[in-house]
Structure 1
Amino acid sequence: MIAPSDPASQKASKPADKSTPTPVPAKALAQARKDGQPANDKAQDVVIDGSRQSDMDQRRMSTAAKMIYGREELDRNGDSTIGEILKRLPGVTVGGRPGRGGDIRMRGMGNGYTQILLNGERAPRGFSMDSLSPDQVERIEIIRGPVAEYSTQAIAGTINIVLREDYRQKTTDIRVSESMEQGRSAPNLSITYPGQLGDLSYALTASVSKNRQHDDVTTDTDETNAQGEMVQHQHDLTSRESRGLQLTPRFNYRFENGDTLAFQPLVTNSRSDSRGSSKLDQIGEIQEYALATSVGHSETTFLRGFGTWQHKFDDNGKLNIKFGGGSGKIDTNSLRSEYGTDGGFLKSITDTATTKDTTLNTGGKYTKPMGDGHTLAAGVDIETGKRNETKVTVDDKGVPQFADSGDNLTASTRRFAAFVQDEFDINAEFSAYAGLRWEGIRTKSTISTGPIDNTSSVWSPVLHGVWRIPGEKKDQIRLSVTHAYRAPALNDLIAVPSISLLNGPTKPDRTGNPFLKPELSKGLDLAYEHYLTNAGIMSANFFVRDINDLIRRNTVLTDTVTGPRWVSSPVNIGHAITKGVELEAKFQLQEFLPEGPAIDLRSNYSRFWSSVDGIQGPNNRLDQQPKETANFGLDYRLAQLPLTLGGNYNWTPAYAVQTTETQLNSIGIKRQIDLYGLWKFSPTTQLRIAANNLQANDYLTGSFVTTGGINHVDNTVAKTYTTWTVRLEMKI
């Protein structure tokens, strides 16, 4: 986290702070006796060495189920995006085709169920994790159940991306990489420079990148109606070039009275230019066009600041005040030209959009040890945001393509939350965490028909417990009972349409619904964990989520200013339930075969079930949720050479989801093989060579819609590609 944290008060949701010594908890000493390790209650026998706990130790000692992945995991495969790293972690899947990013999901649950945080704060609207280089990240924290200190908009769980810190860093880190996809170059340079001026310490981190990509997508459409059969074959080609700049400096100041002030800005700028062509063959009816060409440009700029001030009182109480804010701007423009079967020009469509976001946030938390083993904390969070959006979509004759084209649309949000939590040790074997959070959200939007208000509030009690089995070494059982919710996304509340240029029941226009209610969820988690001697673990986690007021998109034929069009909008449809099991095994082979090779094994498997009331089975699952997913990876350290070889196999089988009574969506199998080699020339210099998506299988998706006596089938084949990366890492 940005703020220095006290492990005794923040073990449920945060790791110990890197900037202060980590005390040895009393329960750790008691557990050491259980494990047969020497321990002594005398003060002089407790060693405080200033180093933070290992990732595995923090996971074990946390009362709430939490997994932590530091630089070793982030660097292992030489990935260029955060999504490529996350897809290998237990219970995490990434939507979309390999190498092109997508929404990040826990428990297989679609976009919006997983809370994504940056340094413990909500990510800016419109911000994509794929725009953040892994070199800018210190660690990734995965919290399976909500905690009161964070927003409880985490039905599936929370993924917290912690940006680079300056803990104990004395050298300048330089990382230079070159990636190739289909012969297209993607260079990247990242530098971290630490320093200190009196009581001010800092670390300056910057990354610059350039990327060129090519997409090849083919869609076959088969539509049968009362008049006969119409067949469409659409082939899309897209080439794009993007450039990015990221700055994540960090500043820490320690006052004479012991107070600390930390501030970390995040600045990102990315620009993308694209060219595309779409060839359409159609049989059976009048063809709208035969060829369409397009050019587009987009530029995205985000500025976000994270700040904390910490004061410790004489009674061991502590006050943390956080503050921050940010702004973002997204400019896009595109021109699409359509031509007939004879090559003659038919029409063009120009789309221009500007979106501006501003946010301000503040809050505070007071923490105080109470009695024997209790740590009480209470606090508030306040966040305000405003979005201003202008979108113009016109044809070459200047005719608007939707009712509000050219209007200045605004929306604002205000979020207020208060929480209280108590973390306590009942005895050496049992620790518990109880919390309560109230969160209220108000959204205002203005469209051509007038202003619309939406207000919602949620109470979220949460309870976590961990029992360290007496007589067993490093075996423990976790239990969590939680309430969480999913607030409608701002884009789902604002009725600004996104126009589909090839409108149909499977390619509808998309719009919002200002009357959406939040989804509410009751959750139960039960886990067994067995920790091994050499930083290994074997675990099984079972979960269930009961969801009310489920939000799902509904597609209907609607009369608009340009005539009848298929329009998709979100609605609350009722109740759903999902459950699953997540298995993980991570260990060194020499743990079981002392004379064996130096191989580290990593594996996980997750199985998910879900059902949505009111939609007939057998595939009435939560939208975008696969039935299962698995990973298997290993690292082999050669005995005679400073060389490590490794790889990972990621697998998600094909599945289908009945999204409504009239629509069935399908996703093809995803198999991805990643390999790497790491040569360490010296403790300060190493070279990494990696191949991502080695198989490069086609990514298949489909949609089947039956409505009004019409059967409409879309099958899409998107090609994927292998990416080769060479990266040199140096410490100066």
Structure 2
Amino acid sequence: MARHPADTPCAPVRRPAALVVALALATGGLAGGAAAQGAPATDDPAPKPPAVPSTPAAPPTPAGAAAVQRVEISGSADANADRRRSTAAKIVYGRDELDRMGDSTLGEVLKRLPGVTMGGPPGRGGNPSMRGMGGGYTAILIDGQRMPFGFSLDSIAPEQIERIEIMRSPVAEHGARAIAGIINVVMREDFKRKTNELRLGVGLEDDRHPQANGNWTYSGQNEGLGYNLSAAFNRQHQAEESTGRRVDSDDAGKPVLEQRTGQRSLNRREGVFVNGRFQFRLGPGHTLDLNPMASVGRSRSSGQHTLVQAPDPEAAPYALADQRTDADSSMARLNGNWQRTLGNGGRLQLRFATMLARSASLTQREEYAFDGLSLPRKVDDGSVRDLSLELNGKYSQLIADRHSVSAGWELQGGQRSDRRLTTEGGEATLAEFGDALQARTLRLAGWAQDEWEWSKTFSFYAGLRWEGIQTTSDGVAQVGGAVLQEFKNRSGVLTPLAHMVWKLPDAPRDQVRLSLTRSYKSPTTSQLIARPTVATLHRDTTQPNKPLNPDRAGNPDLKPELAWGLDLAFEHYLDAGGIVSANLFARQIDQLIRTVRAEEQPTWAVDANGQPVTRWVARPQNIGRAAAAGLELEAKFRPSDLWVTDLPLTLRANGSLLWSKVDGVAGPNNRLDQQPRYTANLGFDWPLRGMPLTFGGSFNFTPSFVVQQIDSQVYRQGVKRVLDAYALWRFGTAASARLSLANASASDYDTGTTVLLADGSTQAQDTLSRTYTNVTLRFELRF
């Protein structure tokens, strides 16, 4: 996409100084410090480098190196043990992967994992998804349970996580609302040793915006109790800067309206996240785990927006706007897990979870016309409250040494209160809909699964799950206190699941996996019962609007998307703990949901005579069938896995080739929303011999792509290149310092849409957002 002219308001400007300084520190400064310190004494061995997925045996000590004892621990011998044993495909990433790059957010970790892509600009988090299939197709779990709508994974510090599990296909126990797969984040649970860990970090974004974060973890155990406590805080100052261009053209291609926008703001975010895990040993094979979790966050954003319109600048809705947003959020959750082993080889498990989440935001916008006169003030005041309670039961029975069956049930209830009041010049907009919306959900599920290691070379899994969800809302439209509309949506899905793994008899390090599954994606509460939103440029609901600027609303008649899935994988495990794998997948999706514009006579549009007004409204709709397929490749190895060498370099690479087609949308590019054609990740770690220094980096690449979302709308996204680097210096075995560069490439982020109407007219919108490099210095202490 062509860049905007230099005179575009708020044009992004590059500032590479942070990158230059940080690279100099990482390569020259730290190495110079090593030379100044000299080699460690013989009785003070050099600290071992961090455990990596592939670690060869320690090479012989070269002559003349008696002053240094090289201690190299092959801590990765069991790094792939869970993956090899699991019948259903599961990839586990532990503390080594989480600590490697010194990431300050979980999103930075996830973007490097096989098959995972992140939405939004580089360095700004976003929703993770698998196989490029967009939000909602991937189940995001914490300790095996779904988190509330709107909860950000970036509020959890990577230091508070024990491991991340990637499941490419669903299993009955974790649920089938996972067409693309499952990402399960397991919080810290190490009770084995008493330890304190303290990590403090400071940084700069764009050379001028300070960042600070810290994490403390304390764990231990005694005869009757194991415990792990952690607390994290973060404080961020982040700038946002973007330019935009919109061009409306008639059926002959002649521009009839052109708008150029500029936006610049400064965001200040502060947050605290605490988590604990307590395991009470009530007797032999009898335990009770309690896992409390809480978070508090606050953000303040202030910025300025500009709008220049042609050919008639004075007709622009505004020329300048000052906007301020204050937002606060809090969440408290308590999970309990009671387990008892029975004498006949059975095990009984009961789980409960309760969660309360609140969020509130207040946006105030002052607009000024072309001649400088003040326009009516706009205020948006909203809050959301989510309350949920979940009860689960599970019974497992060991039939033979390598054969077990399990069955369980789940019951979950939730209530959401969404209050929102929007005013313009002190007058409420859409006042007839009230300022509060109540929604209730009830979910009931039952499942059973059978896992059997038939022989040393063949295992299979068979599961069946039924899940029903009911969503009800009231208070959607109120006049004189009477409820005019009550929405109810009910759905039930039966999902059979089958997995198998075959270890090749003549090649014990090779195995083949096959999965055939049924999965689904349920409509979100907002898709079902979203409060109507009036088009920004056509706020007068007594008049028609334009198809290029529709009103928006929910659709209570939506049905869940259903999918059949097939996965075929080959895995080769290397001698030193590395792996090379290839995975083919295919999904057939029915009742795909897309947002569609259509003419309606909505209840909120009435003219001065009380007659209905026809307006364009965008609602989610089930539009038909889609197919998706792809190839996922992964490799983790050392050069010694391929040739004779003692080079202690670790290499990591993964990539995905992705394809999809939506039958209900005309081509070309009628792909699943947000899906690129391929993704790639490269990374390395290099511990320097004779020095307590390890450095490494990673490169994440997503190409530009175009998606035909519906027949009349095309979405475009530019290329994303994310380069990260780190240098780790160890001061003995208990202390270290880590210098990290996040988004060192800091390239601009392009997005755009084009809408083509039936009469041949078009609207094209492009946005160019600046991204930033973040430099962080973190100190880590264990005692």
TM over 0.5: yes
**Which residue number in structure 1 is paired with residue 272 of structure 2?**
245
1:370 equivalent in alignment to 2:420: no
1:513 to 548, 555, 561: 555
1:467 to 474, 498, 502: 502
2:259 to 214, 232, 239: 232
1:347 equivalent in alignment to 2:372: no
User: Matched residue of 1:450: which SS?
Assistant: coil
> Residue type matched to 2:701 in 1?
W
Give, in angstroms, the shift of residue 404 of structure 1.
Answer: 5.0
User: Matched residue of 2:736: which SS?
Assistant: strand
Give, in angstroms, the shift of residue 555 of structure 1.
Answer: 2.7
Distance 2:466 2:534 in 1: 38
Write 1 or 2 for the structure with the bigger share of strand.
1
1:276 equivalent in alignment to 2:318: no
**Which residue number in structure 1 is paired with residue 718 of structure 2?**
668
1:151 equivalent in alignment to 2:175: yes
> Residue type matched to 1:281 in 2?
V
**Which residue number in structure 2 is paired with residue 602 of structure 1?**
652
**Which residue number in structure 2 is paired with residue 544 of structure 1?**
586
Q: 1:432 to 1:674 in 2, by over 3 A?
A: same
1:424 equivalent in alignment to 2:449: no
1:120 to 141, 144, 149: 144
1:533 to 543, 563, 575: 575
Residues 37-116 of structure 1 mapped to structure 2, 5 A cutoff: 54-116=78-140
User: Matched residue of 2:88: which SS?
Assistant: coil
User: Matched residue of 1:55: which SS?
Assistant: coil
- 1:396-442 alpha-carbon deviations (Å, 9 max, x no partner): 131x2235554321001111111110000111100000000011111
- 1:438-462 alpha-carbon deviations (Å, 9 max, x no partner): 1111111111132111110000100
- 1:494-526 alpha-carbon deviations (Å, 9 max, x no partner): 131345645676665542111110000000000
Contact 1:585 1:603 in 2 (8 A): yes
Distance 1:625 1:386 in 2: 33
> Residue type matched to 1:85 in 2?
V
**Which residue number in structure 2 is paired with residue 714 of structure 1?**
765
Q: 1:415 to 1:55 in 2, by over 3 A?
A: farther
Distance 1:420 1:615 in 2: 38
**Which residue number in structure 2 is paired with residue 357 of structure 1?**
386
Supply the RMSD in Å over aligned alpha carbons. Answer: 1.8
**Which residue number in structure 2 is paired with residue 401 of structure 1?**
429
> Residue type matched to 2:309 in 1?
Q
Contact 2:191 2:221 in 1 (8 A): no
Residues 671-710 of structure 1 mapped to structure 2, 5 A cutoff: 671-709=721-759, 710=761
2:187 to 160, 163, 181: 163
Residues 451-466 of structure 1 mapped to structure 2, 5 A cutoff: 451-466=486-501
Contact 1:404 1:496 in 2 (8 A): no
Q: 1:458 to 1:86 in 2, by over 3 A?
A: same
Give, in angstroms, the shift of residue 198 of structure 1.
Answer: 4.8
Q: 1:636 to 1:566 in 2, by over 3 A?
A: farther
Q: 1:341 to 1:151 in 2, by over 3 A?
A: same
**Which residue number in structure 2 is paired with residue 585 of structure 1?**
635
> Residue type matched to 2:693 in 1?
L
1:487 equivalent in alignment to 2:522: yes
**Which residue number in structure 2 is paired with residue 298 of structure 1?**
327
**Which residue number in structure 1 is paired with residue 46 of structure 2?**
none
* Most deviating of 589-598 and 612-621: 589-598
**Which residue number in structure 2 is paired with residue 725 of structure 1?**
776
1:629 equivalent in alignment to 2:676: no
Q: 1:265 to 1:62 in 2, by over 3 A?
A: same
Contact 2:592 2:626 in 1 (8 A): yes
Contact 2:448 2:464 in 1 (8 A): yes
2:155 to 131, 144, 150: 131
Contact 2:218 2:230 in 1 (8 A): yes
Contact 2:276 2:293 in 1 (8 A): yes
**Which residue number in structure 2 is paired with residue 385 of structure 1?**
414
Give, in angstroms, the shift of residue 567 of structure 1.
Answer: 3.7
**Which residue number in structure 1 is paired with residue 620 of structure 2?**
570
Give, in angstroms, the shift of residue 290 of structure 1.
Answer: 0.4
Distance 1:495 1:404 in 2: 15
2:224 to 199, 206, 209: 199
- 1:551-576 alpha-carbon deviations (Å, 9 max, x no partner): 11113465644887654321100100
1:640 equivalent in alignment to 2:669: no
Q: 1:708 to 1:471 in 2, by over 3 A?
A: closer
Distance 2:289 2:401 in 1: 31
Contact 1:403 1:561 in 2 (8 A): no
Give, in angstroms, the shift of residue 337 of structure 1.
Answer: 1.2
1:267 equivalent in alignment to 2:298: no
**Which residue number in structure 1 is paired with residue 461 of structure 2?**
433
Distance 1:208 1:500 in 2: 39
Give, in angstroms, the shift of residue 628 of structure 1.
Answer: 0.5
Aligned residue pair count: 681
Distance 2:549 2:187 in 1: 38
- 1:151-186 alpha-carbon deviations (Å, 9 max, x no partner): 100000000011111332321010101121021111
Distance 2:537 2:329 in 1: 27
* Most deviating of 555-564 and 494-503: 555-564
Percent sequence identity over aligned pairs: 42
User: Matched residue of 2:357: which SS?
Assistant: strand
TM-score (norm 1): 0.90
User: Matched residue of 1:72: which SS?
Assistant: helix
> Residue type matched to 1:94 in 2?
M
User: Matched residue of 2:81: which SS?
Assistant: helix
Distance 1:558 1:334 in 2: 30
Distance 1:527 1:622 in 2: 23
> Residue type matched to 1:715 in 2?
D
Q: 1:565 to 1:209 in 2, by over 3 A?
A: farther
Distance 2:504 2:724 in 1: 38
Q: Greater CA radius of gyration, 1 or 2?
A: 2
Give, in angstroms, the shift of residue 195 of structure 1.
Answer: 3.9
Distance 1:265 1:695 in 2: 39
**Which residue number in structure 2 is paired with residue 30 of structure 1?**
none
Give, in angstroms, the shift of residue 684 of structure 1.
Answer: 1.0
User: Matched residue of 1:152: which SS?
Assistant: coil
User: Matched residue of 1:492: which SS?
Assistant: helix
Contact 1:228 1:284 in 2 (8 A): no
> Residue type matched to 1:82 in 2?
L
1:309 equivalent in alignment to 2:309: no
Distance 1:484 1:620 in 2: 22
Distance 1:69 1:505 in 2: 47
Give, in angstroms, the shift of residue 596 of structure 1.
Answer: 4.0
TM-score (norm 2): 0.85
User: Matched residue of 2:84: which SS?
Assistant: helix
> Residue type matched to 2:507 in 1?
E
Q: 1:72 to 1:65 in 2, by over 3 A?
A: same
> Residue type matched to 2:454 in 1?
I
**Which residue number in structure 2 is paired with residue 27 of structure 1?**
none
Distance 1:111 1:587 in 2: 32
